[in-house]
Amino acid sequence: MGRVISVLVPLGIIAFVGVGGVIALSAVKPAPEKAEEARAGLNVFAEPIRRGDLTLVVESQGEVKPRREIIVAPQISGRISYVSPDFIDGGFINRGQLLVRVEAADYELAVVRAQSSVASAEQALAREEAEAELARQDIQDLGITDASPLARREPQLAEARAALESAKAQLKDAQLALDRTAVYAPFAGRVRERNVDIGQVVAVGQSLGQIFANDVVEVAMPLKDAEMGRLGLPLAFSASANNPGPDVTFRATVGGIEREWHGQVVRTAAAVNSQTRQINVIAELQDPYGAGADGDAPMAPGLFVNATIQGETIEDVLIAPRGALRGDDRLFVGLPEEGKLSIRQVDLIYSDPDGAYVSSGVEAGELAITSPIQAPFDGMSITVMQRMEDGTIKIHEPKPTDDASTSDEPAALVSNTGEGVAQ
Query: E-assigned strands of 115-205?
Result: 182-184, 189-194, 201-202
Angle (nearest 5°) at CA 205 between 203 and 210: 115
- Residues 6 or more apart in contact with residue 61 via CB below 8 angstroms: 221, 304, 305, 306, 307
Summarised one tens digit per residue, pLDDT across range 322-375 is: 888 888 788 889 888 888 888 888 888 878 777 888 888 888 888 889 888 888
Q: Buried b / exposed e across 343-364, counting CB within 10 Å, b at 16+?
A: bbebebebeeeebbbbeebbee
Look at residue 2 in the predicted model and tell me its pLDDT: 58
Confidence of residue 122 (pLDDT cuts 50, 70, 90): very high
Query: E-assigned strands of 269-398?
Result: 279-286, 304-320, 325-326, 330-335, 340-345, 348-352, 355-358, 367-369, 382-387, 393-396
How does the average pLDDT of the chain come out, rounded?
84
pLDDT of residue 409 exceeding 80, the answer is no
Nearest-CA neighbor of 286 among 297, 295, 299? 299
Q: So what's the architecture of 43-51+316-414 in CATH?
A: Beta Barrel (2.40)
d(CA 197, CA 190): 18
CATH 2.40.30.170 fits 57-66+214-315, yes or no: yes
SS3 category, 92: strand
Lowest mean pLDDT among 191-205, 243-257, 404-418: 404-418
Confidence of residue 408 (pLDDT cuts 50, 70, 90): very low
Which amino acid, residue 198? I
Structural contact between residues 246 and 230, judged by C-beta atoms closer than 8 angstroms: no
Look at residue 15 in the predicted model and tell me its pLDDT: 60
Share of the chain above pLDDT 90, in %: 44
Model-level pTM? 0.66
Look at residue 357 in the predicted model and tell me its pLDDT: 87
Look at residue 136 in the predicted model and tell me its pLDDT: 83
Share of the chain above pLDDT 70, in %: 85
Look at residue 396 in the predicted model and tell me its pLDDT: 82
Look at residue 421 in the predicted model and tell me its pLDDT: 40
Lowest mean pLDDT among 84-98, 208-222, 337-351, 385-399: 385-399
Look at residue 395 in the predicted model and tell me its pLDDT: 86
β-sheet with 189-194: strand ranges across: 69-72, 209-213, 189-194, 92-93
d(CA 138, CA 247): 84
Look at residue 21 in the predicted model and tell me its pLDDT: 57
Structural contact between residues 278 and 259, judged by C-beta atoms closer than 8 angstroms: no
- What average pLDDT does range 27-36 have in this prediction? 55
Q: Compare 58 and 37 and report the one with higher pLDDT.
A: 58
Lowest mean pLDDT among 129-138, 194-203, 260-269: 129-138
Percent helix / strand / coil, the chain, rounded to 5: 25, 35, 40
SS3 category, 387: strand
Summarised one tens digit per residue, pLDDT across range 50-104 is: 888 888 889 999 999 999 999 999 999 999 999 999 999 999 999 999 999 999 9
H or E element in which residue 287 lies = none
- What average pLDDT does range 42-49 have in this prediction? 87
- What average pLDDT does range 131-138 have in this prediction? 83
Alpha-helix runs per DSSP H in 301-359:
none
pLDDT of residue 32 exceeding 70, the answer is no
